[in-house]
Structure 1
Amino acid sequence: MSANESELTAAALIELAVEGWRFQKLFGRALSKLDAGEAARFTNQHRFFVRKIEHCLDTVGLRLVSIEGQAFDAGAAATALNLGDFGPDDRVVVDQMIEPIVMNENGLLRAGTVMLRKAEQ
């Protein structure tokens, strides 16, 4: 496989992983709206899907990172869509990951995308 083909394969795998991550987040939200009996049936399938993606990514040295709930600073490996809504002295935390951070053993491959909220005092 040529270097270009290898790069295209890695880019396609990352894109597929990010879309899988988005889908599992959506599926998790849908599960929370089901009654307990129905949700239980799908929860194990959801967990299996998440573990399978993590295992496949781990096999090729990739991992998806979420920083939800953590303090946000300018050096974070994520772009904040609503950073302009806050002042320079506001303490903010990551409220929601829109896209995960993608990393490998060498470091950052793709920055994430986040929505922020003010930190509780």
Structure 2
Amino acid sequence: MVAQIGVGVSDCASGDCGPLTDAPVSLFGARVYRHTLTLRFFERASGREVYKVSAASTDHDADPLSALPALIRSALVQFPFDPPADWRVRLRTNEKRGVPDVVSVTPLQK
């Protein structure tokens, strides 16, 4: 199984935490779920936000806990991300270890 997860540092205030390109096709009426994770890091002394990364994935599993390992792995795969701000992280599930392996990390074309 290969999952594609969009990772960006864009503001999620509008409710859109990354592009939905390459979303899986809904076969036989199966629902498609979007899972998102945003990590924000703050400077302790001033409380100023110094880093923010968001990860999003789509799949047919409503359980957010099943998406969490892939979201965390993709959000931190190249911490901290350098420009450009948006990346496509491709993961493959490692059945033996039960954790996702990184297949590729490429800049996202806008």
Question: Common fold, TM-score beyond 0.5?
Answer: no
Greater strand content: 2
Structure whose alpha-carbon radius of gyration is higher: 1
Q: TM-score, normalised by structure 1?
A: 0.26
Q: TM-score, normalised by structure 2?
A: 0.28
Greater helix content: 1
